[in-house]
Amino acid sequence: DQQVKQNSPSLSVQEGRISILNCDYTNSMFDYFLWYKKYPAEGPTFLISISSIKDKNEDGRFTVFLNKSAKHLSLHIVPSQPGDSAVYFCAGGTSYGKLTFGQGTILTVHP
Amino acid sequence: NAGVTQTPKFQVLKTGQSMTLQCAQDMNHEYMSWYRQDPGMGLRLIHYSVGAGITDQGEVPNGYNVSRSTTEDFPLRLLSAAPSQTSVYFCASCPAAGGNTEAFFGQGTRLTVV
C-alpha cells in the first residue's frame, strides 16, 4: 500500500525550460508535503514544502502546487539548470516529523 | 555546523553479525528518525523518537532496535544481520511537530550484508 507515488521514474529537460515533477498520494491525513533533492552518496536535502491547507508555495525558481481534491502535488522548476540534475523525492508529513516518501524521480537537465 | 552525523559511512557484515549505526545531531532537535532507502522504493521509516526516552516503530521495524538516552544521539542496532537488510540507511532530525516541518538528513550509511 504505497501512500505516496511518483509514477515517473525519470524526466529529461533542456536547460532553461520548465521541469514538472508529479506526485500522487492516498493518505488524507498528511498535514504537509515536502520535496527533497538527493545527489548520489549524499543525504536528501530539503527543497520546499507546502501545508495541506495551501494550494501553492513559491521559493525562487521552485513552486509547489497542491490539488487536494485530486490528491496530487507537483513541483515546478523554472528555469531548469544543469545543477538541478538529481533525484527528487516528494513526501507526506504528519506529526512528529514522520515522513512517507515516494519512490523518487531522476531529473536530468541537459545543457 | 555539523548538523546530522552518521557513522560509519560504509559497512560490510556477515549474516548473523550484529552492529550499531550511530547518529548524532547538534541542533537540539526533539525528533529523530531512521529511514532505509532501497532501489525503486524511496525512503521507508524504520523507527522514530519524539524525545529522550521515547521511541516508536515506523513502517519497517523488524530486525532493528533503537534507544534514545540523550537528545543528541539515536543509534540503530541490527541484532542479527540478514541480506535483506542490505540498504542505505539515513538518520534524520526534526525540530518540532506539525507545520511544514522539514527533516534534516545525515549523509547515510551504506550497509552490505553477505
Is B45's CB within 8 Å of A98's CB?
yes
Strand partners, B33: B48, B92
Burial degree of A34 (CB within 10 A; 0-12, 13-18, 19+): buried
| Closest partner CB to B105 (pick from A32, A43, A100) | A43
* Residue A43 near chain B (CB below 8 Å): yes
What's the one-letter identity of residue A15?
Answer: E
A54, A98, A103: best mutation site toward chain B, by most B Cβ within 10 Å? A98
Phi-psi domain of A9 (left: phi exceeds 0; alpha: psi -120 through 50; beta: other) = alpha
For residue range A8-53, what is the model confidence (pLDDT) as tens digits? 999 999 999 999 999 999 988 898 999 999 999 899 999 999 999 9
Q: Rounded CA gap, A69 and B21, in Å? A: 41
For residue range A67-108, what is the model confidence (pLDDT) as tens digits? 999 999 999 999 999 999 999 999 998 876 688 999 999 999
Is B99's CB within 8 Å of A32's CB?
yes
Q: Is A25 in contact with A8 (CB distance < 8 Å)?
A: no
Strand partners, A10: A106
Q: Rounded CA gap, B106 and B104, in Å? A: 7
Strand partners, B91: B34
* Residue B24 near chain A (CB below 8 Å): no
Prior bond to A44 cis, omega within 30?
Answer: no
pLDDT at B94: 86
Question: Among B83, B104, B101, which residue's Cα sits nearest to residue B33?
Answer: B104
Strand partners, A107: A11, A86
Question: Among B33, B20, B49, B84, which residue's Cα sits nearest to residue B7?
Answer: B20
